[in-house]
Amino acid sequence: MEITNVTEYDAIAKEKLPKMIYDYYASGAEDQWTLQENRNAFARILFRPRILIDVSKIDMTTTVLGFKISMPIMVAPTAMQKMAHPEGEYATARAASAAGTIMTLSSWATSSVEEVASTGPGIRFFQLYVYKNRNVVEQLVRRAERAGFKAIALTVDTPRLGRRESDIKNRFTLPPNLTLKNFEGLDLGKMDEANDSGLASYVAGQIDRTLSWKDVQWLQTITKLPILVKGVLTGEDARIAVQAGAAGIIVSNHGARQLDYVPATISALEEVVKATQGRIPVFLDGGVRRGTDVFKALALGASGIFIGRPVVFSLAAEGEAGVRKVLQMLRDEFELTMALSGCRSLSEISRNHITTEWDTPRPLARL
């Protein structure tokens, strides 16, 4: 049966993967209200397409932090990809590179920064968790720099791990044949069996709860790489991020895996964009499953989006070919959405191309 959209990979992954692993990837925090809302909020945004525009040529290219990519669709950091497929992050890296877009490698990858760099050319970002041991952090950032990674995506919404009840029920832990490769030599690569979630215990033991804005400044003293602050949901924090020297913001609720009952990222996006006043680019992750979703995010001011679960689900289903297919399907759908909305380039996508529940009724245009 031919796969015709991104969401179809979810059911295939569920069938293929052990329950503990599928649940780890699929679940959200607590009631999973935000998990549903990340999708539902997109469905409440409607289009205002413009017609009779020559859309015979469509340009989806863009630049992110000065790097030219083929489309504003990038790969979000997702942990432990070798649980999904033996090739794990290697396959994802090759697929992203083939699609001409950016991959973000998770700190908690089952392949190291050096291994991912060895897959060949490609623009790659590194997602960073700040460990209590700052020497570990400094070493990791150095290694990412040396391996040719182009930016750091600093995750700021995880002083503690969110309560993911399926991980507690399943007593989630990293399968014994795998390690968190970036920490292998540092005795931080293994996750112990725990009475609840092995990952939650690992985070409680290793991740620094004191992380604050001064650490964003500290990070800039140890690396020249641009820093994206990942996990901003309010205008207040967006303003501080700009002042703190962030190169960009990723509006993210961690795939609805941290604090439940935060808004969908697409609902928080416009507030963050307005607060930055165009000074730094704003990106979005969370709930993107269609080219229409990509268009809606850009219409609300995002410079690009990242996809997470569709990558691990397609990886589980078909390896590298699956990830390639997801990126291609989203690209094709986004191109079609642009054409049918009357936009020939990303710069032509405007706020007037969509309507949201929070819009004030627009005055009738005077002829």
Active site residues: 254
Is 289 labeled as ligand-binding? yes
Contact 323/95 with Cβ under 8 angstroms? yes
Is 254 labeled as ligand-binding? yes
Is 106 labeled as ligand-binding? yes
Residue 210, Cβ density class (10 Å: 0-12 exposed, 13-18 middle, ≥19 buried): exposed
Is 286 labeled as ligand-binding? yes
Is 127 labeled as ligand-binding? yes
Is 79 labeled as ligand-binding? yes
Is 129 labeled as ligand-binding? yes
Is 112 labeled as ligand-binding? no
Is 187 labeled as ligand-binding? no
Is 325 labeled as ligand-binding? no
Is 230 labeled as ligand-binding? yes
Is 258 labeled as ligand-binding? no
CA 47 from chain centre, in angstroms, equals 24
Is 287 labeled as ligand-binding? yes
Is 85 labeled as ligand-binding? no
Residue 25, Cβ density class (10 Å: 0-12 exposed, 13-18 middle, ≥19 buried): buried
| CA–CA separation, 76 and 27 (whole Å) | 16
Provide the annotated binding site for glyoxylate. Answer: 24, 129, 164, 254, 257
Provide the annotated binding site for FMN. Answer: 77-79, 106, 127, 155, 230, 252, 285-289, 308-309
Provide the annotated binding site. Answer: 24, 77-79, 106, 127, 129, 155, 164, 230, 252, 254, 257, 285-289, 308-309
